[in-house]
Amino acid sequence: SYGTLAGRTAVITGAASGMGAATARLLAAQGVRVALLARRAERLEELAATIEAEGGEALAVTADVTGQASVDAAAERVHSTFGQVDLVVNAAGVMLPNPVDEGRTDEWQRMIDTNVTGALRIIRAFTSDLVAAAADGRTADLVNISSIGAHVAFPNYAVYGATKAALTHLSSSLRTEFGPRDVRVTNIEPGLTDTELGGHIDNAELSGQLDGMFDAVGALSSEEIADLVAYATSRARHINLRQLVVLPTRQA
């Protein structure tokens, strides 16, 4: 079981699947009101219904983190329904590997817009909530889902890795701004995890390479990452688990 999470209000991006969805479900089961953000409305509605059937409280908010107007509208919807937010999880992300010399600028742009700028847009939309919650003596958390790819170079994943290195660095930098105001920043760097993330790869060889890795080392589950989010955010507010690197034991 976790410390006290009940009564908190969370915004979770990437909540349509994978780690974001699992995190939403686990936090809701702990008594957290959860706003679910992603692009696929049906997925969010389905998850919200599941959470409510389990006795939780959830709000499905269709949003694209690559669009400022979409994020502004989502923030307005969250605020008008739930009021102040005290827990933000940036899990939205895309992974589109290809050799850099293929020059897939469309993929580079999409990864940068989603993984870096998208997270920044969400941070900007909810920073004043986190700061105000902390000033009121409540626990306030920003959790960024980065990747082991922020540290380990992997062929064909240069741009994805660069976006995750940027996110990890952003977490460190934000800690210098938010920490003194009692807002905690937790950066999680998972290894191979069984989600939909690899499903957007349009290169058969690289898709096969990823499948081979799953076969060779196994994978973590989304629920295992959600467990870490719940653990880190339920510590006493003066304790910051800054950096969680979590890999399947067999992953090199």
Site residues (vs ligand NDP, CB under 6 A): 13-14, 16-20, 38-40, 43, 63-66, 91-95, 114, 118, 145, 147, 190, 192-193, 195-197, 222
The residue among 209, 193, 218, 196 whose CA lies nearest residue 157 is 209
Helix (H, G, I), strand (E, B) or coil at 235: coil
Residues in the chain: 252
CA separation, residue 134 to residues 34, 44, 77 (Å): 19, 29, 22
Catalytic residues, by residue number, are 160
Q: Can you state the percent helix, strand and coil of the chain, rounding each to 5? A: 50, 15, 30
The H-or-E segment that residue 78 falls in is helix 68-82
Cα–Cα dist 71/183, whole Å: 21
